[in-house]
Amino acid sequence: VDANTPFSQLMDALDDVVEKPKKGECVVYWMRMADLRIHDNRALSRASDQAQKDGIPLIVLFIISPQDYIAHDRGARRIDFTLRNLALMKTSFADLHIPLQVVTHFQRKTMPYCALSFCEKHGATTLFANIEYEVDELRRDLEICKLAAPKGIQANFFHNKCVIEPGIIVTKQDKAYTVYSPYQRKWIATLNANIPYYLEECPDPVANDENVRSSKIFAQLFDTRVPDYIEGFRLDDADREKMKEVWPAGEDVAAKMLDAFLATKARTSQLGAVDPVACGAEASDKASRVLKYGSERDRADRDTTSRLSLYLSSGVISVRACVRASMVKWKTSKVDDNRNSGVGRWIQEIAWRDFYTNVLAALPRVSMGRPFLEKFADVVWEKHEDSSGNDSEALKRWKAGTTGVPVVDAAMRCMNEMGWMHNRARMIAAMFLTKDLMIDWRVGERYFMEKLIDGDLASNNGGWQWCASTGVDPCPYFRIFNPYSQSSKVDPTGEFIRHWVPELRKLAGPDLHNPPTVTAKKLGYPLPVVVHSESRDRALRRYKNPGEE
Ligand code: FAD
């Protein structure tokens, strides 16, 4: 894999043998935004191990970095969810006499200094963290490696996000895979050949000695608070309450959702219950969805998927725990990747998550505003804002869910309201923006990050570039979704549209998916913002001849 990437450079830096530092006063675990859990957390577990060996306390640091959140288009909902989890963990850590200190540090460039001065202030000579694969984060960790050793601090980094960490599944030429199927085949073979290594559960951290609470250096850390909000990212009260209700914080919630999703026996009275509005924890109380996952995962009008994306992208649940649970529940000795079984199909989706993270680490330009397929860099996009930076009419209507195309509007309103959207609905909404409205995929990518509570750079970028036909293993540019025929496939009962677009609730059948002009006018529903057949021709022309109108 390209030696010049920050990922490769960090891997090389970690290979350098750093002299074992002198025993310090404590060990620091630096928790990041994607590892918000206590159980099965590699860096935390190893930090605890070190603290036990040295007979010193473990302390936990979390750095809030507003400038970083701005640079990464972090949405306020995701940040609010982070704070809610930190507040819960503060209590759980305190039960183990482990203090969790949340500090705010605005400047992203000086974050390494912030972390290292925290170590110095508390006399730590070892720092532990899990790796984040975004390019700026990798550069930050490289900087830490450089700065730590001269200060007598040993920085230790661990892979924790993926089932198989980036850089392992490579082609014969030692390159990153840019096509999913061969990656996935090698992924499953590698995993099944090394199950104990990849799926091993890390021991929980051991409690500190109770005396830590009265120690001069550490006692005050227990008294600090997790802020309720971050200036510039504050949700309005109604949205916050809604997010709290639909997406509760906590490892136990995520574990319960996983358990319900993988239940081996369907609670038959509820199996197949149509609940297109159920999201998050609400949905988790329904019957085993994995049973129908293979055949019904593309249905937006059924709650057949796990809804675990938020808990996975925030690290509230371990992806290893998800795979282990699938094996235990379904009594298999190998990880199942059979497309025809519900659980096997689900594991393949987990592999997509690894795939896109691998791409992000190996080909960082995909997240730096460049299309992976450079040949499409010059595709001509429609203007999406005026000279004052206001959204164009078409973009406004897409964002608000008033395009006049029911399935697109249902999808967008669902995300605006709940912070989550079904995978197939994401594909339809993204394809509509890029091909029907011919608006730059980067505009949509940013809006999804703003509204989604599960926003994850690797998966979001991968999904958008798939739909825009510019990414690794993308949808070919000439395969443009017809939103009306897609609509009847993802929402055959019409429940999804009727719920999210109540103007149309009295309609059924083809009229619901594509309301006749007279009917739409009567119901006060907008007429389509574009004519699909015409905009399809425009997209084909522009993709075929990048640079030309
Ligand atoms: P399940 O169907 O239960 O799948 C289990 C897990 O596998 C998911 O929780 C997720 O972690 C992973 N997964 C499933 N599908 C994909 C996929 N296509 N790519 C990568 N991982 C996948 N996912 C995010 O987590 N964050 C995002 O910001 C995000 N943005 C997307 C944007 C677009 C345009 C598209 C097309 C897809 C995006 N996805 C994103 C992927 C996918 O839509 C969601 O992960 C999925 O809908 C979450 O629902 P679930 O948890 O019920 O998934």
Counting Cβ atoms within 10 Å, is residue 388 exposed (0-12), middle (13-18) or buried (19+)? exposed
* Centroid of ligand 1 to alpha carbon of 424 (angstroms): 10
pLDDT given for residue 75 in this prediction: 94
Q: Which of 240, 236, 290, 297 is nearest to 267 (CA)?
A: 290
Mutate to test the pocket of ligand 1, among 180, 284, 343, 349 (most ligand atoms within 8 A of CB): 349
pLDDT in tens, 105-126: 999 999 999 999 999 999 999 9
pLDDT for the residue 21: 84
| CB of 452 closer than 6 angstroms to any ligand 1 atom | yes
Alpha carbon of residue 484 to chain centroid = 28
Helices and strands in the chain, H and E counts? 26, 5
Which two three-digit tokens encode residue 475? 């949808």
Query: Which residue has tokens 């030696």?
Result: 3
User: How far is CA 377 from each of CA 178, 366, 432, 435, rounded to the nearest angstrom?
Assistant: 18, 12, 19, 15
The residue whose C-alpha atom lies closest to atom 29 belonging to ligand 1 is: 460
Q: What pLDDT is recorded for position 531?
A: 98
Ligand 1 atom showing the smallest separation from residue 293 Cα: 2
Please state the three-class secondary structure of 378-408 as a single string: CCCCCCCECCCCCECHHHHHHHHCCCCCHHH
pLDDT of the residue at 478: 96
What per-residue confidence (pLDDT) applies to 287? 53
Counting beta carbons within 10 angstroms of the beta carbon of residue 40, is it exposed (0 to 12), middle (13 to 18) or buried (19 or more)?
buried
Kindly state if the Cβ of 72 falls inside 6 Å of ligand 1. no
Phi, psi of 357 (to 5 degrees): -70, -40
- Centroid of ligand 1 to alpha carbon of 357 (angstroms): 12
Q: Which atom of ligand 1 is nearest to the CA of 427?
A: 36
Q: Give the nearest ligand 1 atom to 313 CA.
A: 25
**CA 54 to ligand 1 centroid distance, Å:** 41
- Yes or no: say if 500 and 410 are a contact pair by the CB < 8 Å rule: yes
* Atom 20 (ligand 1) nearest CA: 353
Q: How far is the CA of 354 from the centre of ligand 1 (A)?
A: 11
Strand order in the sheet with 100-104: 100-104, 58-64, 26-31, 124-130, 154-158
Tell me how far the alpha carbon of residue 518 lies from the centroid of ligand 1, in angstroms. Answer: 37
What is the whole-number distance in angstroms between the Cα of residue 325 and the centre of ligand 1? 19
3-state secondary structure of 221: helix
Q: How far is CA 534 from CA 529, 538, 539, 540, in A?
A: 12, 6, 9, 10
Cα(480) to centroid of ligand 1, in Å?
21
- Candidate from 366, 408, 423, 442 with most ligand 1 atoms within 8 A of CB, to mutate: 423
Whether 305 lines ligand 1, by a CB cut-off of 6 Å, is yes
- pLDDT digits over 261-308, tens only? 898 765 443 333 334 455 555 555 555 678 889 889 999 998 889 999
- Residue 143 beta carbon below 6 angstroms from any ligand 1 atom: no
294 lines ligand 1 (CB under 6 A): no
- Ligand 1 centroid vs 462 CA: distance in angstroms? 10
| Mean pLDDT of successive 10-residue stretches along the chain, which has 549 residues | 84 83 95 97 98 97 94 93 98 98 94 97 97 96 94 96 97 95 97 96 98 94 95 95 94 92 61 43 61 90 91 98 92 86 94 98 92 95 95 98 98 96 97 98 97 97 97 95 97 95 97 98 98 98 95
* pLDDT score, position 379: 97
Q: 500, 453, 201: which is closest to 308 by C-alpha?
A: 453
Which of 459, 461, 496 gets mutated to test ligand 1 (max ligand atoms within 8 A of its CB)?
Answer: 459
- This model of the complex carries an ipTM of 0.99
Give the pLDDT confidence of 385-404 residue by residue, as tens digits. Answer: 999 999 999 999 999 999 99
Cα 426 to ligand 1 centroid, rounded to whole Å: 9
Ligand 1 contacts CB of residue 349 (under 6 A): yes
How many other β-carbons are positioned within 10 Å of the β-carbon of residue 410? 31
pLDDT, position 274: 36
- pLDDT value for 336: 87
118: Cβ–Cβ under 8 A, 6 or more apart, which residues? Answer: 28, 61, 101, 103, 124
Whether ligand 1 lies within 6 angstroms of the CB of 44 is answered as: no
390's CB contacts (< 8 A; 6+ apart) are: none
